[in-house]
Structure 1
Amino acid sequence: MEEDKMHTDSSFKSATLQLNTSQGDNTEPEVLINTGARIKRPLSLNATNVGDLNMSDAEAKTYFSKRVGSFENAVEDCKSLLNSGVDGDIVGAWLLTEIDHWDNEREKIVILTQNSLISVRYDFIGLKIYDSKKVLLHMITKLQEGHFMYPEKSVMEPRKSVGIRASWGRTETLSFSQKWNPWSSAIPYITFTHHPLHHNVEDVDIITYNVDNFYKAFTQQVQNCHLEKKTGVSPTVTKGSLLIESYASLTSMIHNQSHLGFSRERGGVSF
Structure 2
Amino acid sequence: MSTIGSFEGFEPVSLKPDDDDHPSERERLPVEERSSGRDSASDRIARQPSVTESALYPNPFLQPHSTRKYFVTRPGAIETAIEDLKTHVEEKRGEVVQGFWLLTEVDHWNNEKERLVAITEDTLLICKYDFIMLSCVQLQCIPLNSICRICLGNFVFPGKSLDKRQGEGIRIFWGKREEQSLLSRWNPWSTDVPYATFTEHPMKYSSEKFSKICKMSAFTAQLVPAVQNAHKTSSEPGRGKGVMVSTEPILIETYTGLMSFIGNRNKLGYSLARGSVGF
Does the C-alpha gap of structure 1 residues 82 and 172 become closer, same or farther in structure 2, counting only changes over 3 Å? Answer: farther
RMSD of aligned C-alpha atoms?
2.1
2:208 equivalent to 1:204 = yes
Deviates more, 1:236-245 or 1:165-174: 165-174
Q: How does 1:114-129 map to 2 (within 5 A)?
A: 114-129=121-136
2:134 equivalent to 1:134 = no
Contact 2:115 2:127 in 1 (8 A): yes
Match of 2:265 in 1: 257
How far the C-alpha of 1:118 sits from its partner, in A, is: 0.8
What is the SS of the residue equivalent to 2:148?
strand
What is the SS of the residue equivalent to 1:266?
coil
Deviations 1:171-196 (A, max 9, x none): 45531111122222210000110000
Deviates more, 1:90-99 or 1:223-232: 223-232
Match of 1:12 in 2: none
How far the C-alpha of 1:210 sits from its partner, in A, is: 1.3
Contact 1:146 1:164 in 2 (8 A): yes
Contact 2:148 2:244 in 1 (8 A): yes
2:200 equivalent to 1:194 = yes
Flag the structure with more relative contact order, 1 or 2, with Cα contacts below 8 A and sequence separation at least 6. 1
Contact 2:169 2:198 in 1 (8 A): yes
> How many residue pairs get matched?
212
Does the C-alpha gap of structure 1 residues 80 and 182 become closer, same or farther in structure 2, counting only changes over 3 Å? Answer: farther
Deviations 1:20-72 (A, max 9, x none): xxxxxxxxxxxxxxxxxxxxxxxxxxxxxxxxxxx949711211101222111
Contact 1:150 1:244 in 2 (8 A): yes
What is the SS of the residue equivalent to 2:132?
coil
CA–CA separation in structure 2 for the residues paired with 1:128 and 1:237: 34
Contact 1:165 1:242 in 2 (8 A): yes
Q: How does 1:217-236 map to 2 (within 5 A)?
A: 217-230=222-235, 231-236=239-244
CA–CA separation in structure 2 for the residues paired with 1:74 and 1:124: 8
Question: Which stretches in structure 2 are left out of the alignment for 5+ residues?
Answer: 1-61
CA–CA separation in structure 2 for the residues paired with 1:171 and 1:180: 13
Contact 1:87 1:114 in 2 (8 A): no
Does the C-alpha gap of structure 1 residues 183 and 107 become closer, same or farther in structure 2, counting only changes over 3 Å? Answer: same
How far the C-alpha of 1:82 sits from its partner, in A, is: 2.1
2:106 equivalent to 1:71 = no
Match of 2:170 in 1: 164
How far the C-alpha of 1:251 sits from its partner, in A, is: 1.0
How far the C-alpha of 1:160 sits from its partner, in A, is: 2.1
Contact 1:87 1:116 in 2 (8 A): no
2:63 equivalent to 1:59 = no
Does the C-alpha gap of structure 1 residues 96 and 267 become closer, same or farther in structure 2, counting only changes over 3 Å? Answer: same
TM-score (norm 2): 0.71
Does the C-alpha gap of structure 1 residues 248 and 123 become closer, same or farther in structure 2, counting only changes over 3 Å? Answer: same
Question: Which stretches in structure 1 are left out of the alignment for 5+ residues?
Answer: 1-54
Contact 1:143 1:164 in 2 (8 A): yes
Contact 2:90 2:96 in 1 (8 A): no
Match of 1:113 in 2: 120
Match of 1:10 in 2: none
Deviations 1:239-261 (A, max 9, x none): 01000010011111100010011
CA–CA separation in structure 1 for the residues paired with 2:187 and 2:88: 26
- Higher-Rg structure is 2
Look up the equivalent residue of 2:69 and give its one-letter code. Answer: T
Match of 2:107 in 1: 100
CA–CA separation in structure 2 for the residues paired with 1:141 and 1:86: 23
